[in-house]
Amino acid sequence: MAGHIPEETVDEIRKSVDIADVVGEYVKLKRQGRNYFGLCPFHGENTPSFSVSSDKQIFHCFGCGKGGNVYTFLMEIEGYNFLQAVHKTAERTGHSLPEQFNEEPTKQQDPESQSILEAHEWLTKLYNHLLRHSKEGKQALQYLLDRGFTEETIYKHQLGFSPTSQEFVVTFLEKKGFHPQTMVKAGLLNVNNQGEYFDRFRGRIIFPLRNHLGKTVAFAGRSLGEQEPKYLNSPETDLFQKGKLLFNFYLARSAIRKTKTLLLFEGYADVFSAEQAGVENGVATMGTSVSEVQAQLIKRYADQVIICYDGDEAGTNAAVKAAKILKRTGCQTNVARLPEGMDPDDYIKKFGGDRFKKEIIEASDPYTSFIINYLRRNYNLQLEGDRIAYIEKVLQEVAQLDRAIEREHYLNELATNFQISVETLKDEVENLRKRVTSKDGQGTKNNSRQNRSFESHSVHQKLLPAFHNAERKLIAIMLKNQVIADKVQEELGGAFNISEHQVIVTHLYAYYEDGHQPDVSQFVERIEDQSLKNLVIQLTMSPSAEEEITDQELADYIHRIRIESMDRTDIKSLEAEQKRAEQHDDPIKAAEIAMEILRRKKELKNTH
Ligand SMILES: [Zn+2]
């Protein structure tokens, strides 16, 4: 799986970085003893269950179970393949890889993903060509021009058109050597009951959706006529996940880097209009709210993000949600206010780009002002009770601000608006802040979180049968102790009962036989299957992996595993005997054996 880079080089590069530094660029980590904890970037959560071990050079999430070494992390969060992950790590440590590995890294992707990416690339070009130069595409082209799209935009974004003909695209893909079944899986073709293939997007204007590396991974199609549905997207695949992709991120990247600011829109149309008005740092979510993964991606490129959603109730509520997630990543977050009922596209078309920049973007509200305004809608400020409840809510927001000068600004405003002494408000805010820090400080809160993760982990363990736990504990110890691994290999070999465990120990024996020292971060490199990788990491991170084991315990574990395995073998041979009896037309004997199997299975259950 290391492509053709020698294993030693892969290891050397891996060892020359600290995984905590790499992860730390994506996740805010807090040190707790020998490990770091933070909010998992791979699943939404409010309490940290994501941990990084500097000793072991691995990460692990107790929440979603993801884990691995620094390469696994980069592959997961950036969508890199293995070679790209090694490259990126090498860049950071100043290692130069031998010439022959510097080729286009995507070449190393698995053949199916590679083929799907290539098909998207070909179709992007084909659709774009058909839109701009074919007779069939004329109407679509005119439609786009009428809607204000410039030729430049059409070219830059490679907008396209898919002809109404059933076979056109099918034949095209076939000629290029793509397998139709793979293309169905990729969401490019559909297949009907007669087994005929046809283009999923036929008769539609095509918007290619690129990932942040610039590769087209999906299409969005808009029908021209009466065809339903009006908007049709590619289905989610391994390569295309709505929650991870930001529309136009790749093309907007350099503008985002330059300005350190990113504009977040709700729809593609807004991105196009803004771009044509000279605002090139705009991206859009794919009809979903901002995810943690997207927020982390944004944070890496931008210091400031301006949320620019539709000026209606739904848009405002969505903006609140997005603002909270983005604020958590540490991005300076502003929210633009659009006139009621208008979206950014409408606004730019009506008032032009300059006014959009001045009156919407530059006049956007900082997060706290926006939230203070937003909270207002829930209260009738004519009523004293509501007024107090509202002020309390606002104070809670203000208390979260890190800078004293900012807090003062809002408190002064509040004091003026509600004729309250600013001193009283300050006292309140200080009280709130103390409460927050005493809860948060000293690591007490995090400790209990950490314990909770371990607790739920051990509750899970208690529910497993004894032999299963014996296997897990044994593997955890074998991963860090070669002497014990050798002993287990001698006594048990691969005779573990859980098939995942069999695979892991087989790899582990081979790993030690190759002369390697215990190093789980290196070892997981040998395991291709991500869920097995996760399991290895999970076992390594479990508290029992830290315990020492006595000879007696070791013997007990081995005994337990062996008994289970023998029982299973017995049942298997009985089952074979039963089958033979059936084949020889001896139903009475078959039934007797069946009874015996049942009895033994029941016994097996009772012993756990
Ligand atoms: Zn997670």
Q: What is the pLDDT of residues 564-608, one digit of tens each?
A: 888 777 888 888 888 888 888 888 888 888 888 888 777 666 554
Residue 65 CA to ligand 1 centre (angstroms): 6
Distance of CA 502 to the CA centre of its chain: 29
CA 49 to ligand 1 centroid distance, Å: 7
Domains and their CATH numbers in the chain: 7-108 (3.90.580.10), 111-233 (3.90.980.10), 249-373 (3.40.1360.10), 378-442 (no CATH), 462-608 (1.10.860.10)
> What is the rounded (10 degree) CA torsion for 298, 303, 308, 314?
60
Give the pLDDT confidence score for residue 369 in this predicted structure: 94
CB 109 within 8 A of CB 84: no
Question: Which residues make up the environment of ion ligand 1, defined by Cβ < 5 Å?
Answer: 40, 42-43, 61, 63-64
The per-residue pLDDT for range 126-137, each reduced to its tens digit, is 999 999 999 999
Question: Closest Cα partner for 348 from 156, 144, 147, 141?
Answer: 147
Q: Which helix (H) or strand (E) holds 60?
A: strand 58-61
> Strands 261-265 and 304-308, how do they pair?
parallel
d(CA 51, CA 204): 46
Among 143-152, 461-470, 486-495, name the one with the lowest average pLDDT: 461-470
CA of 68 to the centre of ligand 1 (A): 12
What is the three-state SS of 561-607?
Answer: HHHHHHHHHHHHHHHHHHHHHHHCCCHHHHHHHHHHHHHHHHHHHHC
How many angstroms does the Cα of residue 312 sit away from the middle of ligand 1? 34
- Our CA dihedral for 78, 84, 88, 93, rounded to 10 degrees, sits at 140
Q: Which residue has the tokens 């701009």?
A: 132
Cα 5 to Cα 364: distance, rounded to the nearest angstrom:
50
pLDDT in tens, 473-494: 999 999 999 999 999 999 988 8
Check whether 1 has a pLDDT greater than 80: no
Q: What's the CA-to-centroid distance between 51 and ligand 1, angstroms?
A: 9
pLDDT tens, residue by residue, 490-523:
998 888 988 899 999 999 999 999 899 999 999 9
Beta strand 304-308 pairing with 160-161: unpaired
pTM of the model: 0.59
Q: What is the pLDDT of residue 98?
A: 67
Identify the H or E element spanning 232.
Answer: strand 231-233
Which band of pLDDT confidence, cut at 50, 70 and 90, is reported for residue 190? very high
- pLDDT of 460: 52
Q: Residue 2 — pLDDT band, cuts 50, 70, 90?
A: very low
Expressed in angstroms and rounded, the spacing between residue 38 Cα and the centre of ligand 1 is 10
Beta bridge partners of 68: 59
Tell how far the Cα of 114 is from the centroid of ligand 1, in angstroms. 27
Distance from the alpha carbon of residue 458 to the mean position of ligand 1, in angstroms: 18
Question: What six digits make up the tokens of 227?
Answer: 């065809």
What pLDDT score does 238 carry? 84
Give residue 127's Cα distance to chain centre: 30
